[in-house]
Amino acid sequence: MGGFHLLLLICFFSFHLPSNNFATNETDKLALLAFKSHMSNGPSGALSSWNDSFHYCQWQGVSCSNHHPDRVTALSLVSLSLSGRISPSLANLTFLKSLNLSDNKFTGNIPAELGHLSRLQFLDLNMNNLDGNIPSTLGNCSNLKFLSLGTNNLQGTIPPQFGFLEQLEELSLFRNNLTKSIPSTLGNLTKLIDLYLRDNKLDGFIPPSLGQLKAIKYLSLSENYLSGKIPHSIYNLTAMLWLSLSVNQLDGNLLSNFCDALQNLQIIAFYKNQFNGQIPISISNCSAMTMIDLGSNNFRGTIPDSIGTLQNLFWLDMSSNQLKATGDDWRFFDSLINCTFLQKLDLGDNQLQGMLPSSIANLSTSLNHLSLRMNPISGNIPAEVGKLTNLIALELHQTFIEGTIPKEIGKLWNLEGLGLKGNMLSGEIPSSLGNLTKMNVFLLENNAFTGSIPEELSNMQLLNSLNLSNNQLIGPIPKKIFNLHSLSISLDLSNNYLNGSLPPEIGHLGNVAKVYLSNNKLSGQIPTTIDGCQLLQILHIDGNQLNGSIPLSLSNMIGLQDLDISNNAFSGPVPEFVGQMKLQHLNISFNNFEGELPKDGVFRNASAVDIRGNSKLCGGVPEMHLPKCVLYNQKKKHNSKIIIVIIFCIGGIICLCITMFLIAHFCCKRGPYNNPLPLVAKNSEYQKVSYNDILRATNNFSLENLIGRGSFGDVYKALMNFENVSTVAVKVLNLKHRGASRSFFSECRVLRKVRHRNLLKVLSLCSTIDHHGNDFKALIFELMPNGSLETWLHPDACTNRQFRSLNLIERLNIATDVVTALDYLHNHGPTPIVHCDLKPSNVLLDEDMTAHVGDFGLARFLVQPDSMSSLLTGSTDGLKGSIGYIPPEYGMGGKASVEGDAYSFGILLLEMFTGVSPTDERFRDGLSLHNYVQMAFSDRFSEIIDHKLFPANGGENTNSEDVQDCLVSVIQCGLLCSKLSPKERIGIKEVVKELNWARMKLAAEMREIKSDKSKI
């Protein structure tokens, strides 16, 4: 009977239970389709393969297991611009081990049902628009090892259930809107190695239970609202290497036995808190310490001289505290002589008193940043400072230092930033400072310097900010100062005794944003060439002896927002064009202006205009409270004479116009610079394009079609027919800009001679006159749908569209494309050519993300092929390139060379793989991108690599040996290319080999990863 019952049970289950394969097929497939139904397909059609034409295990991003056929084990849809909500149906994928939906546009809550995925090991929802609370059910995923929910809009607290995730190795909740306190249940994660809760809104105390994380090595709680003291239990974390608590509201003393417990500690970052008390002497027991950042706190007392025993120290920042030093208290300074790796020493904004010790000369030869600013230091600047030849930044401003600037400072060849403002320095500015050719920021304001401005300062061809204001300088402004084309921030010479006129060379400052020449003794008129300052936003020339009228050329300065010409001797009417400018503030007070005041633009806002002291002005808007303008009857007696004068004037103008038209027509036909034929073959394959063609194709150069602005012109999108191309890019030269015409001929000459898949292809050109009789020149190129590399590396700076992050493979492919193009230009073209302006904005990407190098306006031929070469190669005078990418030797008058292109490419390479621009604000205090990478290359390599490099690998094997070797090779190429000396730089041919090797190795690694995933 028992056997009969067993037979019945077997029959029942065989008829009434579906087979395992059938159930799993239906369950997993339906779960994926339900997930798809809640979101968009993405602009790239990423989910187009999700249909019945393919088995669902072959759908994009889906991986199935070999051990359990047809069961989905991994779903990776990274950086595909997918939007919509994450469907709870994913919880039905019960065999799922890895879920990566990072870098998309998903909205809504994280489904609580994901907590049912008991096999889940990897979950990455980073960089989306998710909101709501973190579901506590995720604590049920007991096999979870990696959890990243950063860069979303999540709120609330960290669920206490996370304490049961015993296998979790990395928890990243970086950059959310997490609020409330840190739950004590985090202490249950006893196997946790990395804990990153940085950049949230967490408040409250640091829970003592974190002291149970015995395996923790990296703990970052920076940039929150944490308060209170560091719990004693933290000092039980004896394995900890890195403790970062910066930018919080923590207070209290550091325990005296701080480093007795944490002897393995290498980095402490407590910047910007409210810690107080003395710095414990035991800090010297952390013998492995490399970085100490205690800046912006309330530490008191003296700096322990035992700190010099930390022989591995390379970074010491105790700035913005209340530390003292008088007499023997400076012994700590002598002890730092033992720190032979020290690169940054910042003790600024404290209460250090007395004279600087001469032992400053014995500090580490590696020191590149020394700051003692804002301390009551007295005496002279010791001449021994000139021995610190690797200094990049020297900050001694706002102290009580007096005397003269020692000429030895002129020996600090590597100096990029010098701050001596706000002291009691006197005497003449040494001409030896002109030797500092790498200088970026030069600040000597608010001292008592006398004499004239040394012409030698014009040797600082990388300078972007020069401030000599509030001194007692005399004489004219050296004309060579206006040849500092690199000035991009400001030129401030105000409040001195400078005389003479404003030279026409002021128009050479084409990149400067602010010019202050107020309160001097300048005379004469405003030169008409001032419109060369196209990026100028603020111009203050008040308090001088300038005269004449406001020049018409001022109307060409489209960026000008603040104009102050008060307290001078200007006269005549206020021109109508002033009201048509984009001014936000205008001061013309205390001059001799007369006549009717304009009513448009800035004149509509009475609070934005100061017109006091001009008694002959009338009219304007009622808020100006000026008298009405009156026409006198006496003028009628002169009407007949005026009519005769007008007739003669009109006749003269007509004759002049006819003459100019004939000249222009003759030049257009015969002139060597208006006809593009000498630059292309007579039987050219280029399609002829007229001015009217371009005018129509760009819709009268409308702003809607404007896609970019370069050094010498604007680029428009245009609809034109060129074989298989219907949409093109038209570069219209601004011929008023100095060098634009030469740039046009240079670009034509180069593009006629070169043909390469990684160089931007020119389709045609146009050299004629426009409807106003002015010269017109334009180049027509293929339109690159994916824009420039600049907008992909720094999407935050792009206002008109959003870009996803470039992954490691894409960046390596682009870098290889660029260096291949350089290799062709240097070594394989008909004539060796140097590009001279390599930067991300000149690397354009087509629809397949293939890179094309463009903009040859500054290119140079290394061999003159014919008589036109002198025009096209240009002189070696002036700066060739863009700030941040210019080789140092160019700033010293060096000729264009292939080594110069190698330097620019090296900087570009470092920027691509660190995500940091060479003009980033962090480099304005004496640091450069090359030095920043070099300092971290040996022991902090992972910190400088852009964290967005690996969005497509689902977080798997990104730290493999082959991937690391690839990255090391690439960064090493960047460092070798950007060496200071041209002779030390690696050749482009070698770089091509290295990058191709790295690309092949990476491709093999990716294939292996893909193979491993398919086996899961």
* Alpha carbon distance 92, 72 (integer Å): 10
Burial of 3 (0-12, 13-18, 19+ CB in 10 A): exposed
Answer for the pair 59, 80: CB distance below 8 angstroms, yes or no. Answer: no
- DSSP H or E segment with residue 354: strand 354-355
Decide: helix, strand or coil at residue 343.
Answer: coil
Q: What is the dihedral of CA 508, 513, 517, 523, to 10 degrees?
A: 40
Count of alpha carbons within 13 angstroms of residue 416, beta-carbon side: 20
Q: Print the SS3 string covering 371-421.
A: ECCCCCEECCCCHHHHHCCCCCEEECCCCCCEECCCHHHHHCCCCCEEECC
Which residue carries 């008109």 as its tokens? Answer: 800
* Alpha carbon distance 953, 807 (integer Å): 9
- Residue-by-residue DSSP string for 949-990: G-TTTTTSSTT-HHHHHHHHHHHHHHHHHT-SSGGGSPPHHH
Count of alpha carbons within 13 angstroms of residue 644, beta-carbon side: 3
Distant-in-sequence, close-in-space partners of 478: CB < 8 Å, separation ≥ 6 = 452, 453, 454, 455, 457, 458
Q: DSSP letter at 1009?
A: H
Answer for the pair 379, 357: CB distance below 8 angstroms, yes or no. Answer: no
Q: At what angle do helices 961-977 and 988-1015 cross, to 10 degrees?
A: 160
**Token digits of residue 831:** 């004539």
φ/ψ of 313, rounded to 5, equals -65, 130
**Token digits of residue 296:** 């912006």
* Alpha carbon distance 113, 99 (integer Å): 14
* Alpha carbon distance 995, 969 (integer Å): 8
Residues marked active site are found at 837
* Alpha carbon distance 701, 718 (integer Å): 9
Q: What share of the chain is helix, strand, coil (3-state, %, to 5)?
A: 35, 20, 45
Which residue carries 């620019």 as its tokens? Answer: 904
Answer for the pair 595, 571: CB distance below 8 angstroms, yes or no. Answer: no
- Residue-by-residue DSSP string for 627-657: PPP---GGGGGGHHHHHHHHHHHHHHHHHHH
Closest CA to 196 of 172, 229, 226: 172
Decide: helix, strand or coil at residue 122.
Answer: strand
**Token digits of residue 692:** 């009217």
* Alpha carbon distance 953, 428 (integer Å): 61
* Alpha carbon distance 132, 125 (integer Å): 14
Q: Print the SS3 string covering 488-513.
A: CCEEECCCCEEEEECCHHHHHCCCCC
From residue 995, give the alpha-carbon distance in Å to each of 462, 836, 902, 970: 30, 22, 14, 7
- Residue-by-residue DSSP string for 422-476: SSEEEEEPPGGGGG-TT-SEEE--SSEEESPPPGGGGG-TT--EEE--SS--EEE
